[in-house]
Amino acid sequence: MKILVSKLIKVSVFLLSFGAIAETQAQQVEVRILDFENFEPFLHKNNDTIYVINFWASWCVPCIKELPDFEKLNVKYADKNFKMILVSLDFKRTLDSKLIPFITEKNLKASVLLLHAPDANAWINKVNPSWSGAIPATLIYKNEFRLFHEGGYTYSELDKIVKPLIN
Amino acid sequence: MKKSIFLLLFVLSFTITLMAQGYKVGDKAQDFELMNIDGKTVSMADYPDAKGFIVIFTCNHCPYSVAYEGRKIALAKKFESLGYPVIAINPNDSTIVPQDSFSNMVKRAAEKDFPYPYLLDADQTVFQQYGATRTPHVFLLNKESSDLIVRYIGAIDNNYENAKKASEHYVEAAIEALLQGQNPDPEFTKAIGCSIKIKKS
């Protein structure tokens, strides 16, 4: 069965001033929760798109440090054959108390999903056999091209890899 | 000039390779002498009667490590009397993560009443020698003749988020196997963990 839970935070602010109504309705944070079985297809798309899949957590210091660089890359290639997925390994029980507030606060634009798969020994090698399990870690692929890296990336390092793959 | 640069690069890459390797199951582990939270140093040689050791690289700040605190305490209570004490080692550089400083280690150990030594790998050599890459990361050592042989590397169990939902208790099963004179199966597992925070040189 597909585990898919959507969380919707809707903040509506109505401002009434001088008889005019200004409406600000912006913040909608949706985080899908997937088990490994339902996440795995994201590792094997074969559609000419560059996938940048970053494994992180909202409490992970080096992950948070590199997030702005990932966001910058995501903006740069937004209208290209490019897709970024930030795969959070936060605990499911702290989705509402930690992850969603973090996404809101940092105003993350890249899509975030929560991989709820605590039996990690069963799937780490399926992401990449060289991964010890430490985060951050990033998989960049496009069709047959595949590059996995355990550790952080800077913007220029990321762009050096992604740029030649853009159509 | 060109030759010496080449040689330097060669030596560097060789050193990096060596550092990245660490122990594999079957390797002989080296003893260490690290500062415990009580201000005294601890070595494995201090335990002449031990049959082996559950060496756990762990820390204060990492939620995966924190989630395993109760399970580390339970392992210590169950297996110390059977000859396999827990030794916890914090490998992180506290200039990167202040929560993992020595004084915060002392504080955390007091709060949770750790029944095991909690050592600081202050110059970050021990975790590199062992090949730990994350917290928590377990190395189960078994005394064979006078050597300490690595018999299991990996996770404590197969559910970092919820101890009650774990269906495989790797470290417990590994020690039970050793107590029966067998080698653990599995002898190696992986787990999601926090990267070890290495001091910037």
Nearest-CA distance A151 → chain B (Å): 8
Inter-chain touch B63–A59, beta carbons under 8 Å: yes
- Asked if the structure places residue B200 within a domain, the reply is no
Q: Return the CATH number at B130.
A: 3.40.30.10
B121: CB partners within 8 A, 6+ apart: B32, B34, B57, B89, B90, B91, B127
**Alpha carbon distance A111, B89 (integer Å):** 36
Mean pLDDT estimate for chain B: 93
Instruction: Decide if pLDDT at A46 tops 90.
Output: yes
Tokens for A132? 């010890």
pLDDT digits (tens, 9 = 90+) for B100-136: 999 999 999 999 999 999 999 999 999 999 999 999 9
Inter-chain touch B97–A135, beta carbons under 8 Å: no
Inter-chain touch B192–A60, beta carbons under 8 Å: no
Residue B156 near residue B71, CB atoms below 8 Å: yes
Nearest-CA distance A118 → chain B (Å): 5
- Asked if the structure places residue B11 within a domain, the reply is no
Counts of helices then strands in chain B (DSSP H, E):
6, 9
Q: Which residues of chain A make contact with B168, given a CB cutoff of 8 A?
A: 121
Tokens for A104? 């809101």
- Asked if the structure places residue B120 within a domain, the reply is yes
- Residue of B161, B167, B191 with shortest CB distance to A133: B191
**Model confidence at B201, in pLDDT bands (50, 70, 90)?**
confident
Instruction: Decide if pLDDT at A131 tops 90.
Output: yes
Q: Which residue of chain B comes nearest to A93, CA vs CA? A: B161
Tokens for B139? 């190395």
The reported pLDDT for the residue numbered B21 is 75
Provide the number of structural domains found in chain B.
1
Interface test with B, best of A55, A98, A119 (most B CBs within 10 A): A119
Inter-chain touch B195–A151, beta carbons under 8 Å: yes
- Residue of A61, A120, A125 with shortest CB distance to B192: A120
Over the range A105-138, which residues count as b (16 or more CB within 10 Å of their CB) and which as e?
eeebebebbbbbbbbbbebbeebeeebbbbbbbb
Inter-chain touch B159–A121, beta carbons under 8 Å: no
Q: Which residue of chain B comes nearest to A60, CA vs CA? A: B194
Residue A147 near residue A139, CB atoms below 8 Å: yes
A65 phi and psi angles, rounded to 5 deg: -65, -35
**Model confidence at A5, in pLDDT bands (50, 70, 90)?**
very low
The reported pLDDT for the residue numbered A13 is 32
Torsion angle of alpha carbons B64, A3, A93, B60, nearest 10°?
10
The reported pLDDT for the residue numbered B15 is 46
Inter-chain touch A135–B193, beta carbons under 8 Å: yes
What is the distance, to the nearest Å, from the Cα of residue A89 to the centroid of all Cα atoms in its chain? 10
Interface test with B, best of A132, A135, A138, A149 (most B CBs within 10 A): A132
Residue B184 near residue B152, CB atoms below 8 Å: yes
Interface of A with B (CB under 8 A): 57, 59-62, 89, 91-93, 116, 118-122, 124-125, 131-136, 150-151
The reported pLDDT for the residue numbered B3 is 58
Inter-chain touch A120–B190, beta carbons under 8 Å: yes
CA proximity to A4, closest of A155, A113, A130, A90: A113
Nearest-CA distance B94 → chain A (Å): 12
Q: What is the mean predicted confidence (pLDDT) over B180-196?
A: 97
Looking at residue B200, the DSSP 8-state letter turns out to be P
Residue A158 near residue A69, CB atoms below 8 Å: yes
- Domain of residue B179: give its range: 23-195
**Model confidence at A20, in pLDDT bands (50, 70, 90)?**
very low
Strand runs labelled E in chain A: 12-17, 20-25, 32-34, 50-56, 82-88, 111-115, 134-135, 137-142, 145-150
- Asked if the structure places residue B201 within a domain, the reply is no
- Asked if the structure places residue B77 within a domain, the reply is yes
- Residue of A61, A119, A133 with shortest CB distance to B193: A133
**Alpha carbon distance A17, B130 (integer Å):** 66
Residues 57 through 116 of chain B touching chain A, CB cutoff 8 Å: 61-63, 67, 96-97
Residue A52 near residue A83, CB atoms below 8 Å: yes
With H, G, I as helix, E, B as strand and everything else as coil, classify residue B134: strand
Instruction: Decide if pLDDT at B144 tops 50.
Output: yes
**Alpha carbon distance A107, A102 (integer Å):** 8
Over the range B96-124, which residues count as b (16 or more CB within 10 Å of their CB) and which as e?
ebeebbeebbbebbeeeebebbbbbbeeb
Cα dihedral B179, B180, B186, B188 sign = positive
Inter-chain touch B63–A57, beta carbons under 8 Å: yes
- Asked if the structure places residue B6 within a domain, the reply is no
- Asked if the structure places residue B15 within a domain, the reply is no
Euclidean distance between the first and the last CA atom of chain B, given in angstroms as a whole number? 26
**Alpha carbon distance B192, A132 (integer Å):** 8
- Asked if the structure places residue B150 within a domain, the reply is yes
**Model confidence at A27, in pLDDT bands (50, 70, 90)?**
low
pLDDT digits (tens, 9 = 90+) for B32-89: 999 999 999 999 999 999 999 999 999 999 999 999 999 999 999 999 999 999 999 9
- Domains contained in chain A, CATH given: 12-165 (3.40.30.10)
pLDDT greater at residue A33 or residue A1: A33
**Alpha carbon distance B40, B127 (integer Å):** 20
Instruction: Decide if pLDDT at A55 tops 50.
Output: yes
**Alpha carbon distance B104, B117 (integer Å):** 14
Inter-chain touch A121–B189, beta carbons under 8 Å: yes
